[in-house]
Amino acid sequence: MSSKWNVLQYYIQYKNRKFKSIEQIKRYQEKKLKKHLQFVTANAEYYTEYQDKDLEEFPIINKKIMMDHFNQMNTVGIDKEEALEFAIGSERTREFSEKLHNITVGLSSGTSDSRGVFLVSNAEKDQWAGYILTKVLTRGILAKYKIAFFMRANSNLYEAIGSKNIQFEFFDIYADLDENIQKLEAFQADIIVAQPSMLLKLADAMKQGVLHAKPERVISIAEVLEKEDEEYLKKAFAVDVIHQVYQCTEGCLATTCQYGTIHLNEDVVHIEKEYLDERRFVPIITDLERTSQPIIRYRLNDVLVEKKELCPCGCLFTALEKIEGREDDVFQFLSQDGKMVSVFPDFIRRCILFAGNVTNYRVLQKQDNSITVYADIDESLKERVIEEFQKLAEDKQCITPRIEFEAYSYDSSRKLKRVERCGK
């Protein structure tokens, strides 16, 4: 069977899968999980000792553990060094069409130092494409689309999305911005997929009149989409919702519904929630379908905020208020009795936004816990920012950290993070 036919089959299968109750979702997941764990324990050396055990007994892993045991965890006999060399070679030459032993290999775009490699078989590629298309397409799979996809690296993973009627165009985010804008102007995309920092640049180009895009859908990926950026993008692109695809190498975790709510994709991933407070949690994910490189109880470094109210779209998958950011980016304040207190990125954001009209900013907490605010703002606004931080510290019964100001700057070769804690 051809790959395109497979993608279509998967698309139809996923599109028609409806869940009527939370119990039904649970039952579905349990059934899938049982079968999947049987496969994994029989085929991945790392997991053989967990045969017939429940998921809760499997070890919780992270990127480092996964990379350290890469050879024992993958079921397609690919060696880590070989895979790394191959993936780095593809990025260096910007040539992404090759495969290693018929497996797509890519580097994960983490900001952390441990480099990750992911493996995707041809069947998984088609399955993933079928799934993602149910989430991305606006008018069914047989309509015509032009999809502009801004990404750090292309991959033959994405080729599976293209077809006779779906024209898929890769935009290299490292290419010259003006060239990308010209290319996008000529392409006239129906769907634009890019990280928020790139979407903001495109929105600016729209404002300046050098770009005239009329996308039906705008999809944000790879970086945290801040509320105020989202509002700006909605206006600039004249769309009601900025969609988000929360996709990492570990799986397609969440997507936005037509009401603008982000839902976890609980039909393809099982998610355990490690709660940080009543609504914030760190997800521990188990991909229910990936077999070449199984993802079992992988603890992501992200903080997600649960939405308690039901979404009017009727989808029963867990709804998210937002994807708040990396767990590493949670700030630390010193309490009056000498303990460190976690302050979530959202509180830091509010200090800036409550202070006044600040469009571009970054807030960085250094190792010594001092805070640097990067923003082009005048003295009175700086004072108000300090006041907001003082109020926040008071609320948390903490000492206000030292605050410094610098002109706004950001290294566009890195992911844009408005709120960041310096790891080293």
Q: In the complex, what is the shortest distance from the CB of residue 353 to Zn ion, in angstroms, rounded to a whole number?
A: 26
* Partners of residue 322 on adjacent β-strands: 305
Position 184 contacts Zn ion (CB under 5 A): no
Contact 47, 296 (CB under 8 A): yes
**Within a 13 Å sphere around the CA of 263, how many CA atoms are in the beta-carbon half?**
19
Position 198 contacts Zn ion (CB under 5 A): no
Q: Which of residues 243-272 bind Zn ion (CB under 5 A)?
A: 257, 259, 261
Position 141 contacts Zn ion (CB under 5 A): no
Considering the complex, state which of residue 248 and residue 254 has its C-beta at the smaller distance from Zn ion.
254
Give the integer Cα–Cα distance in Å for 284 and 264: 12
The one segment of 80-88, 197-205, 304-312, 399-407 that binds Zn ion by CB under 5 A: 304-312
Helix axes 177-187, 196-207, angle to 10 degrees: 70
Q: In the complex, what is the shortest distance from the CB of residue 102 to Zn ion, in angstroms, rounded to a whole number?
A: 38
Q: Assign residue 91 a region: left if phi > 0, alpha if psi is -120 to 50, beta otherwise?
A: alpha
Considering the complex, state which of residue 154 and residue 318 has its C-beta at the smaller distance from Zn ion.
318
The one segment of 25-33, 240-248, 307-315, 341-349 that binds Zn ion by CB under 5 A: 307-315
Considering the complex, state which of residue 236 and residue 254 has its C-beta at the smaller distance from Zn ion.
254
331 membership: H or E segment, kind and range: strand 331-334
Instruction: Kindly state the DSSP code that residue 100 receives in the 8-state scheme.
Output: B
Q: In the complex, what is the shortest distance from the CB of residue 312 to Zn ion, in angstroms, rounded to a whole number?
A: 7
Q: Which of 331, 351, 277, 286 is nearest to 308 (CA)?
A: 277
**Rg for the chain (alpha carbons), in Å?**
22
Q: In the complex, what is the shortest distance from the CB of residue 269 to Zn ion, in angstroms, rounded to a whole number?
A: 17
Q: In the complex, what is the shortest distance from the CB of residue 318 to Zn ion, in angstroms, rounded to a whole number?
A: 11
Position 315 contacts Zn ion (CB under 5 A): yes
Contacts of 340 (CB under 8 A, 6+ apart): 332, 333, 334
Binding residue for Zn ion (CB under 5 A) from 76, 313, 341, 399?
A: 313
Considering the complex, state which of residue 87 and residue 253 has its C-beta at the smaller distance from Zn ion.
253
Position 311 contacts Zn ion (CB under 5 A): yes
Note the residues at the interface with Zn ion (CB under 5 A).
Answer: 257, 259, 261, 311, 313, 315
